[in-house]
Amino acid sequence: MEKTFSGKTAEEAVEAGLKELGLTRDDVEIEVLEEGKKRLFGSIPAQVKLTVKEKLTDGQRAVKFLEGLLPLIGTEAAPTLAGEDEKIVIELQADGAKGIIGRRGEVIDAIQVLAGAVANTGRHEYKRVVVDCGNYREEREETLKRVAEKLAAKAVRLRKRVRLEPMNPYERRIIHSALANSEEVFTKSEGKEPNRFVVITPKNMKQDDRRGGRKNAKDRPRREGPKYGGERKKTYEHRDLPSEATPESSGTSFSRGGTPGYKKGGFSGFFGTFLGNANDEETKENEAPSSPTDEE
């Protein structure tokens, strides 16, 4: 849609046209037909032509982006918008689909990521974008569903977790959806992009396998030595305490209530020497012998 407006100046003509159309400058393309001139007698009014820009939908904007991208990466394909209701579906029409899909879909997945970024620019809620070529997505989805069911059965049979190869978010979502209603397994994504993967865990898995260790301490290898409950190696010969009371002069005895005894932990395997006052005769006479050798 295009329309011509006039005014004393080009700016006045543009403002009058935008007001009449109820649009902004971003919504139209402006072409100045006459700048407007003042003469000695009278003046020539300015004239502008406003062309309303075509408003593209999110899907159309993504298709237009791919039309400029594909020739740059050396791909001869024509993108067309196949659907734009719950999700945006873009079909790539080409003679050779293998070159566009790439190994394990690496090329077409990269194209899909870029198209999704363009389509969701300015949106508050993300809208899923699918780029397909030669019915590749449908065939790949069926393959992943078969793989998910097969590996789920293996996890239940072995009662162990099964890890799948790294996948993109789209393919991981297919695995989760395929096993979402299973009564025998549950799924979880682990790792970091781009190597994030799906793990299938059976609900009948052993408790020790869930912890990642042994079931109890009996399964652990026995270690030798006193620290682990083994026998302590003797480093010296055991000596028995003497039957008689140790003299108080040895520094290891004590008297409690007049009865001599042994102080726990005080015996060191030998008797000490009494260090008294040599000039104190009374002390020498009353003191007990300093060692068993003196008694002999």
What is the predicted pLDDT for the residue at 44?
Answer: 79
As a whole number of angstroms, the distance between CA 216 and CA 151 comes to 29
C-alpha dist (Å) from residue 76 to 131, 220, 235: 15, 63, 86
- Note whether 199 and 161 are within 8 A (CB): yes
CATH code assigned to 58-134: 3.30.300.20
Show the tokens assigned to 16: 């009058």
What pLDDT shows up at residue 194? 81
CATH number assigned to the domain with residue range 138-211, chosen from the 4 options 3.30.1370.50, 1.10.150.120, 3.60.20.10, 3.40.50.1110: 3.30.1370.50
237-261 pLDDT, tens digit each: 655 555 555 444 444 444 445 445 4
Give the dihedral of Cα atoms 189, 192, 193, 199; nearest 10 deg: -20
User: What is the pLDDT at residue 287?
Assistant: 46
Pairing of strands 37-38, 2-7: unpaired
The residues of the chain scoring below 50 in pLDDT are 213-215, 246-256, 258-259, 261-263, 266-296
What pLDDT shows up at residue 64?
A: 93
The predicted pLDDT at position 197 comes to 95
- For residue 2, the model assigns a pLDDT of 78
Helix (H, G, I), strand (E, B) or coil at 284: helix
Q: What is the pLDDT of residue 293?
A: 42
Please give the pLDDT value at position 16. Answer: 86
Instruction: Please report, for the chain, the start and end positions of each structural domain, with discontinuous segments joined by +.
Output: 2-52, 58-134, 138-211
**Proportion of the chain in helix, strand, coil states, percent, rounded to 5:** 35, 20, 40
pLDDT given at position 255: 45
The predicted pLDDT at position 75 comes to: 82
